[in-house]
């Protein structure tokens, strides 16, 4: 962990690119708050095309200003989650978001009260409405899922309360959680941190891995009833909203916005089950190489090729990434070079900083990327992954108007994972040392396992627990334990002895508070393998189509955008191809 004061300014966010000062943020906050009050007056007062255009124009302006307020507050909070002032600012802007949602909640019911012919007439009368035309007509897809204006307003007012389980878990997992003790190299006891756990989980010393594993799970086991309560509330809230909005299931509600058939989700899970044999073979090979009587979960992270260690500084990682991504063209690489010192990336793990990594785009400014770089191979891949998101944000914001600049999470994971796959091929293809090449091959397998199989396992967990809630079956920590343990064992095979901690694994997964999100990692990975393979063959048409895809934002539905790159997830071939790749990797690794 690095002290904040020792970090170069080029490796920190420049939040002043959003607001020059906290005072400027406060002034904008007051402006948005006032304008939200003003926009309320449009309820019941949109009677012609001109008034419709005025409302929509003002609404978009407020939305864009609010986004900047929110991102600034979120970045400030995530730099150090312990700071009360930052917590208060984020809470304040979240409350403003509820107020904005409430003030505009009347519009969808109003729009759906108009017949489509009337809307067409309005658009012909006011030229400016053509900018909003596609979104307006798309709203009619939701007609049977939209409530009355009064009910929508009430739900909007409940927004903050409905987000309470997610927010509570976030505070537990980031600010309050305290891991158990481990023994350092001097024989002294010290607290485990996430960064230390990431390193110790790869240690060749099995006792150290075991000690770190138990210290990591200690708080989650101790808090499993509390966390179980938050997750149960989140799932039940989602199921209740599903019923209120007249969707057949929580899964179909989640897929509706992207226009993804539930069969894509179900086919993904079915394909993963059919491909589990290769994963079981890999687990068996791991047990054999480690030469242990019982393979345990704390053995799953240790590299199987000894004597290889990567110490990759942030600067070195950035250069390696740039070389690996050269198949994407000169413009892509040059933009990445500019981002390095442009205040886009907060690089290092510091006290109180939010864990993990993410990208968030700010329209009219630039993307912001959070990292916790630890000078290892995983950090190189995380950097490459998040900069894929950042470049997607950059291209979409540059080439799309505000209304279609924001892309779906579904396609976002393609943009990030293409980068990862290109990096992996680059590293393997340029490695002359046999041991290091074998190490990279093993890393590719583990990356595949984590990005595909683990995410599908999570997706199946979500599906099962939501179905339990829909059937009004008990949903608590005990139920979560049972489902998670069964799935973990099923995916990893009989060569793994689960132990007592595994069943609590659900309690450490923040993505479960964003229902039916993680499956997109798996579909993105399968799509990325397909696209990267053609890029590496120098297919100029694929490169051009892919860059256009990155520039497309949400100008079409995700599956349609992907089809333009040659990926058809409804047919399922990219998923089957990806599983064949994994099987081939395992066979190659087992032979060497």
Pairing of strands 368-373, 345-348: parallel
pLDDT single digits (tens) 30-69: 999 999 999 999 999 999 999 999 999 999 999 999 999 9
- What pLDDT score was predicted for residue 592? 60
Q: Across the beta sheet with 368-373, what order do the strands follow?
A: 345-348, 368-373, 358-360
Which among 386, 420, 462, 470 is annotated as catalytic?
386
- Give CA–CA dist 97/103, Å, rounded: 10
Q: Are 234 and 166 in contact (CB under 8 A)?
A: yes
b/e per residue 253-267 (b: at least 16 CB within 10 A) = bbbbbbebeeebbeb
Measuring CA to CA, which residue among 203, 208, 204 is closest to residue 182? Answer: 208
Q: Which residues pair with 370 in a beta bridge?
A: 346, 358
Within 10 angstroms of residue 244's Cβ, the number of other Cβ atoms is 12
Quick one: pLDDT at residue 1?
66
Pairing of strands 181-183, 189-191: antiparallel
Evaluate whether 456 touches 362 at the Cβ level (below 8 Å): no
Residues of the chain with pLDDT under 50: none
- Decide: 482 and 428 in contact? Cβ < 8 Å: no
> What was the pLDDT predicted at 396?
98
Reported as a single tens digit per residue, the pLDDT across 269-324 is 999 999 999 999 999 999 999 999 999 999 999 989 988 888 999 999 999 999 99
Q: Rounded CA gap, 430 and 91, in Å?
A: 49
Q: Is 386 a catalytic residue?
A: yes
CA gap 481, 483 in Å, rounded: 6
pLDDT at 77: 96
What totals of helices (H) and strands (E) does the chain contain, helices first?
A: 27, 5
Whether this prediction's pTM lies above 0.75 is answered by yes
Closest CA to 258 of 520, 571, 583, 545: 520
pLDDT of residue 121: 96
The total number of residues shown for the chain amounts to 592
Kindly state the tokens that stand for 452. 């595909």
pLDDT at site 486: 98
pLDDT at 298: 97
Tell me if 59 sits within 8 A of 39, measured CB to CB: yes
Question: Which superfamily is assigned to 4-162 in CATH?
Answer: Oligopeptidase f, N-terminal domain (1.20.140.70)
User: What are the residue ranges spanned by the domains of the chain?
Assistant: 4-162
Give me the DSSP letters along 265-289.
Answer: HHHHHHHHHHTHHHHHHHHHHHHHH
pLDDT of residue 420: 93
């Amino acid at each position: 962990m690095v002290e904040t004061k020792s970090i170069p300014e080029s490796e920190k966010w420049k939040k002043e690119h959003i607001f020059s000062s906290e005072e400027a943020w406060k002034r904008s906050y007051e402006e948005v708050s006032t304008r939200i009050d003003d926009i309320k007056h449009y309820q019941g007062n949109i009677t012609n095309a001109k008034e419709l255009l005025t409302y929509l124009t003002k609404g978009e302006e407020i939305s864009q200003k609010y986004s900047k307020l929110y991102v600034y507050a979120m970045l400030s909070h995530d730099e150090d989650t312990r700071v009360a002032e930052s917590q208060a600012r984020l809470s304040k802007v979240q409350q403003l978001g509820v107020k904005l949602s409430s003030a505009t909640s009347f519009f969808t019911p109003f729009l759906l009260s108009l017949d489509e012919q009337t809307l067409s007439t309005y658009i012909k009368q006011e030229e400016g409405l053509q900018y909003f035309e596609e979104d307006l007509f798309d709203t009619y897809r939701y007609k049977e899922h939209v409530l009355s204006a009064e009910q929508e307003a009430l739900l909007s007012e409940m927004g903050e309360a409905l987000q309470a389980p997610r927010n509570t878990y976030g505070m537990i997992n980031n600010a309050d959680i305290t891991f158990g003790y481990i023994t350092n190299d001097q024989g002294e006891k010290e607290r485990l941190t996430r960064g230390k756990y990431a390193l110790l989980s790869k240690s060749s010393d099995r006792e150290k891995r075991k000690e770190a594993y138990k210290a990591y799970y200690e708080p989650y086991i101790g808090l499993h009833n509390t966390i179980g309560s938050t997750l149960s509330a989140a799932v039940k809230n989602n199921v209740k909203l599903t019923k209120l909005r007249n969707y057949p299931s929580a899964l179909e509600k989640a897929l509706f916005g992207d226009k993804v058939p539930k069969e894509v989700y179900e086919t993904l899970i079915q394909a993963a089950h059919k491909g589990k044999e290769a994963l079981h073979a890999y687990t068996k090979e791991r047990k054999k190489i480690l030469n242990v009587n019982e393979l345990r979960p704390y053995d799953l992270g240790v590299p199987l090729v000894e004597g290889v260690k990567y110490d990759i500084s942030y600067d070195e990682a950035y250069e390696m990434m740039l070389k690996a991504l050269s198949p994407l063209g000169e413009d892509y690489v040059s933009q990445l070079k500019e981002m390095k010192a442009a205040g886009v990336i907060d690089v290092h793990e510091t006290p109180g900083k939010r864990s993990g990594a993410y990208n968030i785009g700010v329209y009219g400014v630039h993307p912001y990327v959070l990292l916790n770089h630890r000078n290892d191979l995983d950090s190189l891949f995380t950097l490459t992954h998040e900069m894929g998101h950042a470049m997607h944000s950059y291209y979409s914001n540059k080439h799309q108007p505000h209304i279609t600049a924001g892309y779906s999470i579904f396609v976002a994971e393609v943009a990030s994972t293409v980068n990862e796959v290109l990096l992996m091929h680059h590293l393997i293809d340029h490695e002359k040392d046999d041991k290091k090449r074998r190490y990279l091959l093993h890393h590719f397998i583990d990356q595949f396992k984590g990005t595909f199989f683990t995410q599908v396992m999570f997706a199946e967990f979500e599906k099962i627990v939501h179905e339990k809630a829909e059937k009004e079956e008990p949903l608590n920590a005990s139920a979560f334990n049972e489902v998670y343990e069964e799935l973990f064992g099923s995916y990893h095979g009989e060569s793994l002895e689960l132990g007592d901690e595994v069943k609590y694994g659900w309690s450490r997964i923040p993505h479960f508070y964003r229902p039916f999100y993680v499956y997109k990692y798996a579909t993105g990975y399968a799509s990325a393998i397909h696209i990267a393979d053609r890029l590496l063959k120098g297919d100029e048409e694929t490169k051009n189509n892919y860059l256009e895809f990155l520039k497309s934002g949400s100008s079409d539905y995700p599956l349609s955008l992907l089809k333009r790159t040659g990926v058809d997830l409804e047919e399922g071939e990219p998923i089957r191809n990806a599983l064949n790749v994994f099987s081939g990797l395992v066979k190659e690794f087992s032979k060497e």
